[in-house]
Amino acid sequence: MNGDLESIVLTEEQIGQKVKEAAAWLDARFNGEYPLAISVLKGSVMFFCDLVRAMKTPVQIDFMTVSSYGSGSKTTGVPKIVMDLAASVEGRDVILVEDIVDSGNTLVRMRDLILGRGAKSFTVVALMDKPSRRVVDVKADYACYEIGDEFIVGYGLDYAQKYRTLPYIGILKREIYE
Ligand code: PRP
């Protein structure tokens, strides 16, 4: 385990199992369709790549970079679109893939944007869910794992852009970010 972590929340194997279950849920929901799967960069990139490869349903993939945390550990509350989608979402079944739903601000911003552009449906799959931190009333349609208010990193999740490439998710030691 990385020395900056105090404990592991999900091992690589446990993440693999969660990914399989989420993929099966999506396959059941989109059987026979051709949805557009969107990765909200950068945090969701690892989960997204594993998830779309675990699905049997063919999907179109696209990417959007949204950022609200900058280099610190506190949200600015205003998610900024740093890079927009290449594809049109008009008339499409959109699957939004998130690494974590925290305050919910990013999700609301994405939902309003995508439905505002005329998507046919909007489905959110999140790897991690922190319901205790929510400031807006929104939730993922499918969340793989619910966690309390711990500072977690790894498998896409960062602190000051670090730890994203760890293959597991763990709790960061307090002394690292305080
Ligand atoms: C993180 C995470 C989600 C968002 C969730 O992104 O990847 O997109 O915050 O937080 P919220 O529910 O409070 O909006 P961040 O802005 O840190 O950018 P990153 O994906 O590049 O890490």
Query: Which amino acid appears at position 70 of this protein?
Result: G
Which three-class secondary structure state does DSSP give residue 134? coil
Cα(41)–Cα(47) distance, integer angstroms = 11
Kindly list the structural domains of the chain, giving each domain's residue range(s) and its CATH number in brackets, ordered by start.
Answer: 5-177 (3.40.50.2020)
Q: What pLDDT, on the 0 to 100 scale, is given for residue 71?
A: 59
The set of residues, in sequence order, having a beta carbon less than 8 Å from that of 146 and lying 6+ positions away, is: 128, 129, 130, 131
Q: What pLDDT, on the 0 to 100 scale, is given for residue 67?
A: 86
pTM: 0.95
Give the model confidence (pLDDT) of 127-168 as tens digits. Answer: 999 999 999 999 999 999 999 999 999 999 999 999 999 999
Q: Tell me if 158 CB under 6 Å of ligand 1.
A: yes
Q: What pLDDT, on the 0 to 100 scale, is given for residue 68?
A: 83
Q: Flag residues of the chain having pLDDT under 70.
A: 69-76
What atom in ligand 1 is closest to the CA of residue 41? 20
Best of 46, 48, 65, 102 for a ligand 1 pocket test (most atoms within 8 Å of beta carbon): 102
Please indicate whether residue 137 is annotated as part of the active site.
Answer: no
For tokens 């711990």, the residue is: 150
Q: Tell me if 99 CB under 6 Å of ligand 1.
A: yes
